[in-house]
Structure 1
Amino acid sequence: MMRKTFLAVLMVMALFYFVEAPRAQARNVKDIIKKVQKKYDDIKNFKASFEKIETFQLTGSQIVTSGKLFIKDGKKYRFETEDQLVISDGETVWTYNRLSNQLLIDRVRKNSGALLPRDILFKFPKTHYATLLGEDEMDGKKVYIVKLDSKEDAQGYFSSIKIWVQDDAWQIVKIEITDLNGNKSIFLLSQINTRATLSDDLFKFTATPDMDVVDMR
């Protein structure tokens, strides 16, 4: 469950970095990458609403989740859904399940195997190629579709990512991740605010006496 949550956070963090692929369409991809990077170069805070659609290859079933996500200084984040709350101040991660009233506390670990937000900044660009698949239209606006594929020697929890970049605004409005088992997660972003003023209190969590606390630090 925690890995799936980190995966959702990771999808949003994907908007901060791409890697260029040495292919025929690389020049177009390079232009898009540069414009997106320029857009987000000076972003310190990020706020958005989202809808996440998970499709499972084995059963064909779907799970739809909606919520909000806040990112500050590239490492602090807050991930809110109706059933779950995940908060990190960059050093500690609190994962609270509202249904079970259970709180998991852990350190942000470098080699835990979890898909942490910083992975998209340092690991992902080194292990994936980017290809421009084409253009589409979303909400009456042109978008570019960029696919990121794992290199042959890459290891991880997913095989590819597709990202929809809005023309002119150069913001990512949709992300699709396919994991190694063929399961897909689609992440639709809306109400994007890259100039949000976010309090540090958003990235702290205090347990109450009635919670079932599991401290793994």
Structure 2
Amino acid sequence: MKKLIIYTLIFISATKAFAQKDAQAKIILNQVSQKYKQYAVIKSDFTFTIDAPQASVKQTQNGTLITQSKTNKFKITLFSAAGSKADIEQEIISDGKTQWTYLKKDKEVQVSDADHSSESFSPAQLFTMYEHGYKYIYTGEQRISGKIYQTIDLTPEDDDKKQFFKIRLQIDKVSKQIYTALIFDKNGNKYTYTLRSFIASPQVPDNTFIFDTKAHPGVEVVDLR
């Protein structure tokens, strides 16, 4: 059985951090969360980069996130590193209760219960994750390609359970949208999500958040529940 590739990318390790929450950071994060919650569904194209110096690994993949905030439903599609949107490598789909991890190359889909714990992290949590289990501090502004981004560092309140020690968010000062999320690994690795687009209330089919086995003939179903 193949490992869940997405978890290899996004589950990391922890240490101590800030002692309190920052009022300025909270104001900015609330603005991001409130804007996100205005929409029934959002869609975002993103780039994911893993930089692991000790392993001499630096890899970039493109992906698409579709999420429905009120129901905890989401669909994450990752494309092959050198490919286009036609070259799907992996999909992670959740209807809020069940999660499917589809590994296209291996012709396998792994079925598990949806993980709502604060110990995990995925791109679908970017917009609201600070609301529970994090301390945060505003560290200033940065100008990139003519735009001003506000930088906020998040650190887990429960260091023993979290698998990462810091997440650095860059937020567009004007649009109040997250631009990047940089995740710091205790071992010196860095994982970066860059959101390249933000589409509010896109039209998506009803079956977007369910994996259709009939549409994937020959795929082995591995039930991990």
TM-score, normalised via structure 2 length? 0.77
1:80 is aligned to 2:98: no
Cα 1:53–1:119 change in 2 (3 A) is closer
Give the aligned partner of residue 215 of structure 1: 223
More helix by share: 1
1:201 is aligned to 2:222: no
Equivalent runs, 1:44-193 vs 2, <5 Å: 44-74=40-70, 75-82=72-79, 83-109=89-115, 114-115=120-121, 125-151=131-157, 153-193=159-199
- State the Cα deviation string for residues 133-189 of structure 1 (Å, max 9, x = none): 111123311010100123365521111100001012100011111133332110010
Offset of residue 192 of structure 1: 0.6
Give the aligned partner of residue 42 of structure 1: 38
Instruction: Quote the Cα distance in structure 2 between the aligned partners of 1:108 and 1:126.
Output: 18
Letter in 2 for 1:45: V
Cα 1:86–1:188 change in 2 (3 A) is same
- State the Cα deviation string for residues 32-68 of structure 1 (Å, max 9, x = none): 2232233223232110001000011422421111011
Q: Are the aligned partners of 2:119 and 2:161 in contact in 1 as well (CA < 8 Å)?
A: no
Once structures 1 and 2 are overlaid, which stretch shifts more, 27-36 or 181-190? 27-36
Letter in 2 for 1:161: I
TM-score, normalised via structure 1 length? 0.80
Identity of aligned residues (%): 23
Cα 1:113–1:163 change in 2 (3 A) is closer
Helix, strand or coil: the match of 1:37?
Answer: helix
Give the aligned partner of residue 17 of structure 1: none
Helix, strand or coil: the match of 2:67?
Answer: strand
Helix, strand or coil: the match of 2:188?
Answer: coil
Helix, strand or coil: the match of 1:71?
Answer: strand
Letter in 2 for 1:2: L
Cα 1:119–1:106 change in 2 (3 A) is farther
Cα RMSD after superposing both structures: 3.0
Offset of residue 8 of structure 1: 5.2
Instruction: Quote the Cα distance in structure 2 between the aligned partners of 1:91 and 1:6.
Output: 22
Q: Are the aligned partners of 2:149 and 2:172 in contact in 1 as well (CA < 8 Å)?
A: yes
Give the aligned partner of residue 27 of structure 1: 23
Cα 1:111–1:138 change in 2 (3 A) is closer
Cα 1:190–1:121 change in 2 (3 A) is closer
Dislocated runs of 4+, deviation >6 Å: none
Instruction: Quote the Cα distance in structure 1 between the aligned partners of 2:25 and 2:103.
Output: 40
Q: Are the aligned partners of 1:3 and 1:115 in contact in 2 as well (CA < 8 Å)?
A: no
Once structures 1 and 2 are overlaid, which stretch shifts more, 71-80 or 200-209? 200-209
Letter in 2 for 1:184: K
Instruction: Quote the Cα distance in structure 2 between the aligned partners of 1:38 and 1:108.
Output: 24
